[in-house]
Structure 1
């Protein structure tokens, strides 16, 4: 679009000659002094020069037409120039010192511009909002007192902004995070990475502190677990090795080189001495920290081991695999207990519920299969799940679990009877890992975006058990945002503004 010409050729007389003097003014106060004379000339009836109107507020934009070499200006060349863009910002229409000013501004706006320009020369103003000052980044809204506001909506917004954090801030790493694990006693979380390192963080609502970064494996660290007392760190890797590292000294206490014939995918701590590992080829091995070699080995499947689990009695070791089998090992007898019928989907994760009387397994098709404890040959019930692959499952209470997967959303589910409770949290990319801390109040999740986010799920303690005959809306349940979610439900926006009659009378 062609702008209306505001330039004049050399030698042409016009009553707008005084506009050229604005480009030579170095101080803002001189611009204000010239404004009265310029405006008077612009409003004169004899003026035959047309001026372009700046976009947005209808103010006149003045531009210097003089070149250093004194060459003539061709309006057609200016119009056809590819560098000229009428929609550019104000910075492209003025020099770095803000010498060109906008005409026909009100006295209040002119005073504000003078203050801003003086701050650019003398440094950031201490009374500003701190947009250009990193040390003063608090917004003016935070300085408002909600008790002084009459508008209930504004008061609610101010209260939400001032509300203290209930979860630690996000942790962002440069490398892909392969596993996360909470310490059994302290507020510490271990993050395994694809480079073979393990980062140890101390988490808190006020901020997270990197305690140490331990370089352990030469290749990707697939899984990381703490021992029951939290003194040692167990890791397994794509390089087929297993390492036990002292948490405090970072010294290697035990090293199992070439522990498997294929890359190790999962590791599970059974008790203070025993732990189990599973590789990409379907082999499961049982280890004792007091011996040098594995004390038991079994290969009943041909695909990767996705998860291993034991209950409180620790008599059985449950194993899920990528070829659709649930395999159970008798730890005391060191032999196979039972293997399920094959499923036409990958079995990814599992958890125990209802006093260890139920086992629930998540699959690559988003289904949840429930088994009666001890009867692992075939499921007793099937739940529809979330229609996308479930890669992680964490039990929160005796009947509530959190599941996550490719859609990047953490959902809460009630088990036996099954019901979607809502959304716990969100990531921008698929979720790779889930873990819950020792108090059961915090969930940590990592995604393909190399980030770890925390979610406070303490509110699940107040959830009552769901009855089989209770009616609910499945469509709304899947989209319902729980208190820990980053988003709020539209129907809950004004919930805090409702007042009881007694409060109004007070």
Structure 2
């Protein structure tokens, strides 16, 4: 059974997941001496009710007390990330706009919601109705003028973001529901479906036919990635294979042997010289770009639970979202667990990073999107030796995290 939300959506998961289920998935976190709180204190605000709470009379006869204290506290409150977004429907994907402070949110209903954000508020500015079934993936073009979307309805939609009007629709683009998509260049993009089929598309071509199609795997295509050269397209799949396609020659380049776990997500690091793949068992495999036949290194996971998604935040630091609801930061070279960035009550299914690199957003089964400020990674020095060994690192957690000992994260860096 696939663990990813997009598969769970298709099987109509119930909404009665208990807190006990979440606690079960977090048991390994306790073994790492990390006490995770499920509340979001970074989102605390002074409410109207608090401001209207009872007042007391001061020595000069004027009313102050709780009201004045609440107002002062409200003025002093400084938020370094936007407040959370809560949807009525299940969130299936998120994507930051590349030039504006806007984030797109795809839903199980097939609609895409556009939110403006700042540190004080998140505001719904438009709803784009595109797909008849769950919209599984959304991507912006590099200039942000085009929105690509694909879904369970077998369709690919191309939307002009200035007018928010549909400019092109590829109907029945795949025989099976589309699972993921990646924009390669101004005109070329690629899609992968539940049956392991990968198709390459060119917007300059007339009609609804792809310019290339290949059966790349025996199970769903979970993620695809390429670098700036756009020579190789690397595809991860649910059957545990990493398949590489030569884009200019339009043929398969190489395929790894099957791992005994699903390959779930991909990321590029070290100036695109290193490729990272994560798995349903929490492992991370490192490949040298261009040498895709066998991984060059393997990193264990702290919790051994599935890593559902990842996003690079520097050339050496990856943030991952796990089935246990934990947003975690990891240094790749040297390999160190940096700590917990944040947490959700339920499994995390999507991550993205803002156009300025200051914020990441994460979405979970709880229909919520949370924002985390990760600007401190720009100056974080993880090359210094740390006293106390591995267990000392496991106790450090990042400034955006709920974890109690976050204040001492930088103590010995």
Instruction: Tell whether the structures are fold-level matches, with TM greater than 0.5.
Output: yes
Distance 1:374 1:428, change over 3 A: same
* Rounded Cα–Cα distance in structure 2 between residues aligned with 1:164 and 1:272: 39
Q: What's the CA shift for 1:142?
A: 3.7
RMSD of aligned alpha carbons? 2.4
Instruction: Compute the displacement of 1:474 (Å).
Output: 2.6
State how far apart, in whole Å, the 2-side matches of 1:203 and 1:143 are. Answer: 24
Aligned to 1:224: 138
Contact 2:396 2:408 in 1 (8 A): no
Show the counterpart of 2:314: 397
Moved over 3 A (4+): 136-144, 469-473, 490-493
Distance 2:287 2:387 in 1: 25
Is the 2:51–2:70 contact (alpha carbons within 8 Å) kept by the matching residues of 1? no
Q: Quickly say closer, same or farther: Cα 1:261–1:491, change in 2 above 3 A.
A: closer
Q: Which structure dedicates a bigger proportion of its chain to helix? A: 1
CA change 1:476–1:141 in 2 (3 A) is: farther
Say yes or no: does 1:130 pair with 2:52: yes
166, 181, 187: which is aligned to 1:273?
187
Task: Identify the residue that residue 242 of structure 2 maps to in structure 1.
Answer: 326
Aligned partners of 1:131 and 1:137 also within 8 Å: no
Asked if the contact 2:51/2:71 (under 8 Å) is kept, the reply is no
Counterpart among 219, 222, 227 of residue 306 in structure 1: 222
Equivalent position to 1:234, from 130, 144, 148: 148
Residues 282-315 of structure 1: CA deviation (Å, up to 9, x unaligned): 0000000111220000103110000010112111
Distance in 2 (alpha carbons) for counterparts of 1:472 and 1:278: 45
Match of 1:413 in 2: 330
> Which residue of the other structure, out of 275, 290, 300, is the alignment partner of 1:374?
290
Aligned to 1:356: 272
The separation in 2 between residues aligned to 1:471 and 1:339, in whole angstroms, is 42
Cα distance change on mapping 1:318 and 1:162 into 2, 3 Å? same
Q: Is the 8 A contact 1:286 1:297 kept in 2?
A: yes
Of the three residues 459, 475, 491, the one matched with 2:391 is 475
The number of residues matched between the two structures is: 351
The offset of 1:161, in angstroms, is 8.4
Q: Secondary structure at the match of 2:69?
A: helix
Aligned to 1:484: 400
1:215-263 deviations in whole A, cap 9, x for unaligned? 1100000000111111111110101110001112221100100000100
Shift of the 316–131 alpha-carbon distance from structure 1 to 2, 3 Å rule, reads: same
- Tell me which residue corresponds to 2:202: 288
Match of 1:252 in 2: 166
CA–CA distance in structure 1, aligned partners of residues 171 and 248 of structure 2:
26
What per-residue deviation string (whole Å, max 9, x for no partner) do you get for residues 417-470 of structure 1? 211000111111110100001111100000111010000000001112426x76
**2:376 matched to 1:431?**
no
Shift of 1:478: 3.2
1:186 paired to 2:103: no
Q: In structure 2, the residue corresponding to 1:489 is in which secondary structure?
A: helix
C-alpha separation between the residues in 1 aligned to 2:122 and 2:216? 43
User: TM-score when scaled to structure 2?
Assistant: 0.80
Task: Give the secondary-structure state (helix, strand or coil) at the position aligned to 1:174.
Answer: coil
Query: 1:60-71 residue pairs with structure 2 within 5 A?
Result: none
TM-score between both structures, scaled by the size of structure 1 = 0.66
274-283 vs 416-425, greater mean Cα deviation: 416-425
1:378 Cα offset (Å)? 1.0
Output aligned runs, 1:98-117, within 5 Å: none
Distance apart, 1:487 and its partner CA: 3.4
Residue among 78, 95, 107 paired with 1:164: 78
Distance in 2, matches of 1:319 and 1:474, equals: 33
How far does residue 138 in structure 1 lie from its aligned partner after superposition?
Answer: 7.5
Structure 1 SS opposite 2:404 = coil
> How far apart in 2 are the matches of 1:164 and 1:491?
17
Give structure 1 stretches of 5+ with no counterpart.
1-125, 145-157, 496-506
Does the residue aligned with 1:477 lie in a helix, a strand or coil?
helix
Larger radius of gyration: 1
Distance 1:130 1:445 in 2: 34
Q: Which whole-Å CA distance do the structure 2 matches of 1:490 and 1:332 have between them?
A: 48
Greater RCO structure (CA 8 Å; 6+ sep): 2
Q: Answer yes or no: is 1:210 the counterpart of 2:124.
A: yes
Flag structure 2 segments of 5+ consecutive residues without an equivalent. 1-47, 56-63
